[in-house]
Amino acid sequence: MSEPLFEIVPNLSEGRDSRPIDEAVALVEKAGARVLHRTSDAAHHRSVITAVGGGEAVLAASVALAGFAAERIDLREHRGVHPRIGALDVLPFVPLDGATMEQAAELAHRAGRQIWERHHVPSFYYGAAARRDERRLLANVRKGEFEGLYARFPHHPPDEGDVAAHASAGAIAIGARPLLVAFNVVLETGDLAAARMLARRLREGGGGLRTLRALAFRLAPGRVQLSFNLTDYRATPLHRVVAMVRTLAAADGISAGRGELIGCLPRDAVEASASFYLGVLEPAS
């Protein structure tokens, strides 16, 4: 029987210098995990790595990445449009072939313990790894960002570690979750308030699409971005999100521009969108 397979999607708070990200990718592969994709964004000042491997390989890669990020990234000097609490900001464990969510949560907890013991960076657990109901949502864990960790500490201490934050590396949100789709859409407008209203109307928390998380960011003068996490892409497929963005944006007199995929897209998500736009294609005779 083959070893259970897991995905990790570490988000690093560095998106403007490719050299440390090259080193981070090499660290992940040296630990025995396979890097499938990487992407960096200067406005977000953030990079996302998608890697897969057996449990011990992704665990080793995660602990190594946390130490690397603590050495190379200083949150005290970091400014970007994306919310963050740490140099290694988010570290989700995702069960794939032969793996369970319970095993992913166990890996998340082992990672948090080892990162604290070796690198003295505290962690908060979210998703299926959460030890407190209010921390299941990642947005709740990141509330107040890096700068707010010290103020939160007396009433909201981390799950691993006995300090509010590492002085320069902050804290890490470590989770266990299903596969999700991360997708951005650029809006051809400079009106950030209008984009935030669109995000609010689209996301589940604002009465919009089920399981959808949405934020709005300014990229440059005259351009803003809607940033989505489809936490259950079967319940809310990607093509439905795109169609709703176009419809609601057009009603406000805003043009929706290009889309951008962050990380990998599950095959059945591609097939569902292709079927919607093209119809069910019969094999050629």
Instruction: Tell me the catalytic residues.
Output: 82
Which residue from 151, 149, 216 is spatially nearest to 184, judged by alpha carbons?
Answer: 216
How far is CA 267 from each of CA 4, 6, 179, 270, rounded to the nearest angstrom?
Answer: 19, 16, 11, 5
Rg (CA), the chain: 19
The Cα–Cα gap between 76 and 13 comes to: 11
The conformation of residue 218, written as its DSSP 8-state character, comes to E
Environment class of 246 (CB within 10 Å of its CB; exposed 0-12, middle 13-18, buried 19+): middle
What sign does the CA torsion over 103, 12, 84, 166 have? Answer: positive
How many residues are given for the chain? 285
